[in-house]
Structure 1
Amino acid sequence: MTKTSIALWLVLLLAVIAMAFFWANRPRRLIVEAALPANFPEQSFSHDSFEELLNAYVTPDGRVDYARWRAHPASVAQLDSYLAAISGFSPDTAPTRFSGRNDELAYWMYGYNAYVIKAVLDHWPIASVTDVKAPLEAVKGLGFFYQLRFSFGGEFLSLLRVENDRVRKQFKDPRIHFILNCASASCPVARPGLAIGDELDRSLSLAASEFINDPANVTVDHDNNVIYLSKIFKWYENDFVNDVRLDGKPVGNALLVYIAQYALGNLADDLAKSSDYEIQYRDYDWHINSTG
């Protein structure tokens, strides 16, 4: 067998492997069959029914009681009803329902978080979202964040695409990383009370402040000259750095500059004394953010 024929066979083999991978991991649509929430507005978009569920099943520390939620069919049906609205309308397909960019951003964040909860409930009980695997799981989380597809205004999108294309790319606001919840212990906490309209900016800043001032996410160790950060700051570092640059602030240590603007009390003092410390990122805890 000549070198040319061997090369051709290798190319064919790789092509077959690639086809098998993409066929095995082809999108899996999550279909929601439900009526719209009662009294759903005809000209705008309401998140009230989802807020009601969050208030019922999210604890003060941001954990979700999936077991109790799953055990109440009426609450599962209420979530499906809300998701029927997410599935039926979006800023792309029904722009007149959204009065401005803040309402559009709120839609994508609410929808993302609601579908995450839906996917967890559908697979409950699970120890981690990474337990929802694709047939050929080449990357952790492939099944949950890429293979599963959810309807937003009739367009089926993965959670990965919603985050990157609809939220990050369109709105360029790094504070969204403190709202989007991936149902894992190291994620920002699930929270009711996300504002829409003019009040959304305040909600985003509050979420940023709460996340950054949680020692689990930002800690200064003066004994070892180390700042320990959530891995979210590593994965999305460019988002935070670009925000500092757009604000016209010095870009040296831009990540710490971003963090410092939300730091309070002792953390603010500690950061002011540690600009030359080494940054280390904590391991991400993918355990489910449940109450049990």
Structure 2
Amino acid sequence: MLFRLFLSIIALSVSSTAWAAHDHSGWDALLKRHVVVTGGGTSTKVNYAQFKADRAKLKSYLDSTSSVSQATFNRWSKNDQLAFLINAYNAWTVELILTEYPNLKSIKDLGSIIRSPWKQKFIPLFGKTVSLDHIEHTLIRGSGRYNEPRIHFAVNCASIGCPALRKDAYRGSTLPAQLNEATKDFLRDRSRNRLQGGRLEVSSIFKWYRGDFEKGWRGAKNLNQFLAIYANALGLTKGQQAALHSGKTKVSFLSYDWRLNGS
């Protein structure tokens, strides 16, 4: 009887270990040291020089993401999976910048005429060597598993036009609140989203990924309805929100700033 109880305890312990979320504390510590909040909380700048000095610690975190097996990943909750993919994307983007920093002005400098930097296969993940595009467009957006348009305010492309790279790591336990905060912070930035003469001018992110915002998240069947959910962050009155939700407000898209988001 005692032997069976002992075996049950061992099995439960092994199971709990296998299901535990990934440890993002190393990435979290790097973000807290090397990311500076600007624009009243709507944006951030990244100290890539300090990141480069801490590259061994960054590599340690990246190695930890590469060591995760597909089977382990599959056992996590959806929120833990999504937090892992967002953090991996952002950390590997920083690593990509560091390969040429400080001799670049934009992440686009790391690409070529025939291949963008996002298509470069340099990331060991789940037993394959993949690209940033693979993480974002195949594993996150293309999987059909998450239906979470707010990831576009979480994954960071190392550019001024991008939503902020957070000062803390994403975690499954707090992911909904973190995504909500990231979305509000981005939409509060009047350099990238603003009402101008009755027309709502927003980031080109909403043009490039429009379909993701029109898949019914919180009932939003079109881009206007999604934006109306965050009317307060956009600084809209109730009347302006109603006009936006009904489709009466025209939406246009601003130019994107691809300059490096360095401090």
TM superposition score normalised by structure 2: 0.82
Q: 1:276 aligns with which of 228, 232, 248?
A: 248
Q: 2:105 aligns with which of 115, 122, 127?
A: 127
Aligned counterpart, 1:256: 224
Deviation string, structure 1 residues 177-200 (Cα, Å, up to 9, x no partner):
000000011111100334423321
Of stretches 100-109 and 164-173 in structure 1, the one that deviates more from structure 2 is 164-173
Aligned counterpart, 2:259: 287
How many residue pairs match? The answer is 234
Deviation string, structure 1 residues 80-133 (Cα, Å, up to 9, x no partner):
00000111114x24237x531111111100000000000001111110001012
**In structure 2, C-alpha distance between the alignment counterparts of 1:182 and 1:144, rounded to whole Å:** 10
Q: 2:51 aligns with which of 52, 69, 77?
A: 69
Q: What does 1:201-212 align with in structure 2 at a 5 Å threshold?
A: 201-212=176-187
Q: 1:165 aligns with which of 138, 159, 164?
A: 138
**In structure 2, C-alpha distance between the alignment counterparts of 1:190 and 1:148, rounded to whole Å:** 22
CA contact (8 A) 1:212 1:263 kept: no
The one-letter code matched in structure 2 to 1:99 is W
| SS of residue matched to 1:94 | helix
Aligned counterpart, 1:24: none
1:266, CA displacement in angstroms?
A: 6.8
**In structure 2, C-alpha distance between the alignment counterparts of 1:93 and 1:123, rounded to whole Å:** 34
RMSD: 2.1
Report the structure number with the largest CA radius of gyration.
1
1:256, CA displacement in angstroms?
A: 1.6
CA contact (8 A) 1:179 1:207 kept: yes
CA contact (8 A) 1:216 1:230 kept: no
1:155, CA displacement in angstroms?
A: 1.6
CA contact (8 A) 1:194 1:203 kept: no
Q: What does 1:9-158 align with in structure 2 at a 5 Å threshold?
A: 43=18, 44=20, 45-61=22-38, 62-70=44-52, 72=53, 75-90=54-69, 92-95=70-73, 99-125=76-102, 126-134=104-112, 137-138=113-114, 142-158=115-131
CA contact (8 A) 1:220 1:271 kept: no
| SS of residue matched to 1:188 | coil
1:148, CA displacement in angstroms?
A: 3.6
Aligned counterpart, 1:216: 191
Q: 1:240 aligns with which of 213, 236, 243?
A: 213
| Structure 1 residue ranges, 4+ long, deviating more than 3 angstroms after superposition | 41-44, 270-275
Summarize the Cα distance change of 1:104–1:67 in structure 2 as closer, same or farther, 3 Å threshold.
same
Unaligned runs of 5+ in 1: 1-40
Unaligned runs of 5+ in 2: 1-15, 39-43
CA contact (8 A) 2:192 2:202 kept: yes
The one-letter code matched in structure 2 to 1:59 is V
Say whether 1:229 aligns with 2:202.
yes
Give aligned-pair identity as a percent. 29
1:273, CA displacement in angstroms?
A: 4.7
